[in-house]
Chains A and B, each alone.
Chain A
Amino acid sequence: MLRQIEGSRAVAEAVARCRPEVVCAYPISPQTHIIEALSVLVRTGELDRCEFINVESEFAAMSVALGASAAGARAYTATSSQGLLFMMEAVYNVAGLGLPVVMTLANRAVGAPINIWNDHSDAMAVRDAGWVMLFAESNQEAADLHVQAFRLAEEISVPVMVCMDGFILTHAVERVDLVEQVAVDAHLPPYEPRQVLDPDDPVSIGAMVGPEAFTEVRYLAHARQLEALRRIPEITAEFARSFGRESGGLLHPYRTEDADIVVVALGSILGTIEDAVDTMRERGLSVGALGVTTFRPFPLEALRAALAGARRVVVVEKAFSIGFGGVLSTDVAMATGGLGLDIATVVAGLGGRPVAESTLCTMLEDAGASRLERLTFLDLDHGVVERELARMADSRRSGPTAENILRDIGTGARSPS
Chain B
Amino acid sequence: MPAPSVSGTEVPAMQAMLQVRIHGRGGQGVVTAAEVLSMAAFAEGRHAQAFPSFGSERTGAPVVAFCRIAHTPIRTREPVMNPDVLVVLDATLLHQVDLFSGLRPDGAVLINTSRSLDELGILELAREHSEGRFVTVPATDIAVERLGRPVPNVVMLGGLAAITGNISIDALASAIRERFSSEMAERNVAAASDAYHLVESSSRQEVLRVAPD
Residues of A that sit less than 8 Å from B by CB? 4, 6, 30, 116-118, 165, 167-168, 171-175, 268-269, 271-272, 274-275, 352, 354-357
Q: How many residue-residue contacts, CB under 8 A, span A and B?
A: 67
Complex contact A272–B42 (CB within 8 A): no
Q: With contacts A165-B77, A173-B50 known, what are 8 further pairs, Cβ within 8 A?
A: A4-B43, A6-B35, A168-B51, A168-B54, A174-B48, A174-B50, A271-B75, A356-B81
Q: Are A117 and B75 in contact (CB under 8 A)?
A: no
Alpha-carbon separation in the docked complex, A16 to B32 (Å): 25
Give the interface of B toward A (CB within 8 A). 31, 34-35, 38-39, 41-43, 47-52, 54, 56, 73-79, 81
5 closest cross-chain pairs (CB), A and B: A271-B75, A4-B42, A167-B54, A173-B50, A172-B51
Q: Which residues of B contact A269 (CB under 8 A)?
A: 77
Residues of chain B within 8 A of A354, CB atoms compared: 78-79
Q: Which residue of A lies closest to B81 (CB)?
A: A356
Structural contact, A352 and B49, CB atoms closer than 8 A: no
**Interface SS of chain B: helix, strand, loop or mixed?**
mixed
Interface-centre pick from A165, A173, A268, A272 (highest chain B CB count, 10 A): A173
Contacts of A171 in B (CB 8 A): 31, 51-52, 54
Within 8 Å by CB of A174, from B31, B49, B56, lies B49
Q: Which residues of A contact B50 (CB under 8 A)?
A: 172-174
Given A4-B42, A116-B56, A167-B54, residue A173 in contact with residue B49 (CB < 8 A): yes
A172 to B68, CA, bound (A): 11
Q: How far is the CB of A333 from chain B (nearest CB, A)?
A: 27
| Pick from B34, B35, B78: contact of A355, CB under 8 Å | B78
Q: How far is the CB of B57 from chain A (nearest CB, A)?
A: 10
Neighbour of B54 across the interface among A174, A175, A352, A356, CB < 8 A: A352
Which one of B34, B77, B81 lies within 8 Å of A268 (CB-CB)? Answer: B77
A276 → B minimal CB distance (Å): 9
Cβ-defined contact, A175 with B77, below 8 A: no
Residues of chain A lying within 8 A (CB to CB) of residue B51: 167-168, 171-173
Cα distance A272–B81 when bound, in Å?
A: 14
The answer to whether A272 and B38 touch across the interface, beta carbons within 8 angstroms, is no
Residues of A within 8 A of B42 (CB): 4, 175
Q: Which residues of B contact A175 (CB under 8 A)?
A: 42, 47-48, 73
> In the complex, are the beta carbons of A274 and B75 less than 8 A apart?
yes
Distance of A352 Cα from B56 Cα, bound (Å): 12
Residue of A168, A172, A271, A272 with highest tally of chain B CB at under 10 A: A172
Q: List 19 A-B contacts (CB under 8 A).
A: A4-B38, A4-B42, A116-B54, A116-B56, A167-B51, A167-B52, A168-B51, A168-B54, A171-B31, A173-B35, A174-B47, A174-B48, A174-B50, A174-B74, A175-B42, A271-B75, A271-B77, A274-B75, A356-B81
